[in-house]
């Protein structure tokens, strides 16, 4: 029994993960409820020794009406990753800020606040990061219509619309290839 399989049993006993599986050989992924995220991460960090925070990412599940926050941590001695996921409501997108656990979470949360509009309660510095003077809805949300925005704000160069469209050009070949 490898280290990650043992860890999986421990996690299943300690928390109530919904999906606990191995997407890759050295990666354990599990989905927990909102209140268990801090506990799971601090267990991984302080007890198991996942000392390095890799990244925080956000996935927009538009059909479910949820945002999924993904925390990835790395164990420098065992050379394995763990992925803690949680789903928050899309309408009232709020989550607790975890910047006190790893300081680099600050930057990730600031970016997710800007690009997805998730409000992180207790974050010390939620202010514009990459976008300047942005007035529309957060652009990384899936219901943000980029083409509509472009038509409103930018001018097209003439002739572009008559140029060949790769989708039409390779369409049949692509469909055949996909059937295989």
Residues that bind other proteins (CB under 8 A): 130-133, 135-136, 139, 144, 146-147, 149-150, 153-157, 159-160
Least distance (Å) between residue 160 CB and other proteins: 5
If the CB atoms of residues 121 and 154 are measured against other proteins, the closer one turns out to be 154
Distance CA 4, CA 21 (A): 10
Residues 6+ apart with CB under 8 A from 65: 89, 90, 91
Q: Which two tokens stand for residue 62?
A: 């538009």
Least distance (Å) between residue 4 CB and other proteins: 38
Least distance (Å) between residue 130 CB and other proteins: 8
- Give CA angle at 95 (93, 97), nearest 5°: 140
Least distance (Å) between residue 34 CB and other proteins: 30
Distance CA 110, CA 135 (A): 17
């Amino acid at each position: 029994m490898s280290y990650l399989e043992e860890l999986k049993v421990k996690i299943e006993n300690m928390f109530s993960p919904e999906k606990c599986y191995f997407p890759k050989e050295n990666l354990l992924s599990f989905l927990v409820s909102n209140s268990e995220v801090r506990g799971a991460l601090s267990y991984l960090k302080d007890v198991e020794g996942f000392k390095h925070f890799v990244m925080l990412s956000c996935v927009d599940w538009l059909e479910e009406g949820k945002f999924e926050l993904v925390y990835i941590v790395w164990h420098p001695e065992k050379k394995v990753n763990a992925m803690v996921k949680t789903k928050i409501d899309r309408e009232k997108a709020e989550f607790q800020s975890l910047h006190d656990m790893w300081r680099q979470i600050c930057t990730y949360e600031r970016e997710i606040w800007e690009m997805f509009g998730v409000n992180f309660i207790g974050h010390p510095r939620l202010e514009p990061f990459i976008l300047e003077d942005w007035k529309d809805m957060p652009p990384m949300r899936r219901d943000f219509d980029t083409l509509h925005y472009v038509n409103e704000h930018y001018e097209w160069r003439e002739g572009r619309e008559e140029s060949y469209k790769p989708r039409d050009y390779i369409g049949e070949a692509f469909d055949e290839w996909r059937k295989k």
